[in-house]
Structure 1
Amino acid sequence: MTTKLEILEAAVKNVLGARIVESKSALGELTVIVSPLDYLQVMLDLRDSVETSFEELIDLCGVDYSSYGNDIWDGARFAVVTHLLSIKHNWRLRVRVFAADDDVPVVASLIDVWNAANWYEREAFDLFGILFDGHNDLRRILTDYGFIGHPFRKDFPVSGYVEMRYDADQKRVVYQPVTIDPRENTPRVIREENYGMK
């Protein structure tokens, strides 16, 4: 007997064919990796094909793979992961695309395919610095317009680069370099023989 996941995998392979770089099914979910050159057309085909009918984009996020797990990652650094939903077929699909250039990560925008991609792409730009080619309003959405850097990148310092505070003498908000002295916190562990027992 064919499972629902196998039917989904066959439908996606029928629609995308050789454009699938890699396909994985784990924990009841299917993930396909596609090339950044094919990304926009792949998404259009997944939406418009009767076999797949992914009417909804339910999530889009950026990922920084500069260090993955406990090892150094040897592939492309930045990826965009998109989650799609087909109401007609009642199934979900994860599509991952890696940006071709680590220094200036660029991926095609999906706002002309699914309008819901708008703020998700702005968030990925703001937090990871991933650019979306064709996005008509790509600007910061969560950080301040004067913010320097992208805080979800793994090489972004934990304390940031600048801090802002209100200066009573100048009667305005001022930006200055971070003044937090790095320190190591060692937790104090107290062990009692009968802790938690009555």
Structure 2
Amino acid sequence: MSAFAIQPEALRDLVATALGDQARNVTVKHSEVTVEVAAVHYLDVMRKLRDTPGCQFEQLIDLCGVDYSTYQETGVEGARFVVVSHLLSVSLNQRVRVRALCADDDFPMMASVCELWSSANWYEREAFDLYGIVFEGHTDLRRILTDYGFIGHPFRKDFPLSGHVEMTYDTEQRRVVYQPVTIEPREITPRIIREENYGGLH
């Protein structure tokens, strides 16, 4: 095992060479290498990052979904849903982040990488559950954090803060029952009290 990782700029160049045109861009920021890819190249790119000499990212240590819908309000263009993965090479002591852009905002899909790293299984289920990203090829894509009857995907920016339904335990029926939400959404503005000479300030 290598005691020291190569410099981020050297890793960026190595990864860019390995991926060629399949990478939209490979950047270094805060000493971390990030690869951005389109959904169509995602599985092939991940396989290359695992198998190419000099890359050898044997472990997938994290995978999550991101909803960038509110970024459009600031004038930023791009895909609404992104799958972000973090890969680790134990043998070469190096890491890389992969941002894969879903092609369809209305029905986000991405290839499953479970065939490459078994650790992706529950991560992909979580991203499906919370963001509604469908991982094509996943053999058991079902909810993992919310209930089986849950409606919607709670980490989407347009998901209501109070949800769609609320559940209670019905003692007569001896089971959990679902009912429409009765909580009125409201904005709470914190009350600010300013005292003169607070903390000795004038």
TM-score interval, normalised by the smaller of the two chains:
over 0.9
Q: Does 1:61 align with 2:64?
A: yes
Structure 1 unpaired stretches of 5+: none
1:78 aligns to what?
A: 81
2:3 aligns to what?
A: none
Normalised by the length of structure 2, the TM-score is 0.91
2:195 aligns to what?
A: 192
C-alpha separation between the residues in 2 aligned to 1:128 and 1:75? 17
SS state at 2:39 partner:
coil
Aligned partner of 2:92: which letter?
H
CA distance 1:69–1:27, shift in 2 (3 Å)? farther
Shift of 1:58: 0.8
Q: Does 1:137 align with 2:143?
A: no
C-alpha separation between the residues in 2 aligned to 1:12 and 1:102? 28
SS state at 1:174 partner:
strand
Shift of 1:187: 1.9
Shift of 1:119: 0.4
1:155 aligns to what?
A: 158
Normalised by the length of structure 1, the TM-score is 0.93
Structure 2 unpaired stretches of 5+: 1-5
Aligned partner of 1:63: which letter?
V
C-alpha separation between the residues in 1 aligned to 2:40 and 2:189? 48
C-alpha separation between the residues in 2 aligned to 1:89 and 1:110? 21
Q: Higher helix fraction: Structure 1 or Structure 2?
A: 2
1:123 aligns to what?
A: 126
C-alpha RMSD of matched pairs (Å): 1.7
C-alpha separation between the residues in 2 aligned to 1:87 and 1:166? 48
- Percent identity, please: 61
Shift of 1:67: 1.2
2:113 aligns to what?
A: 110
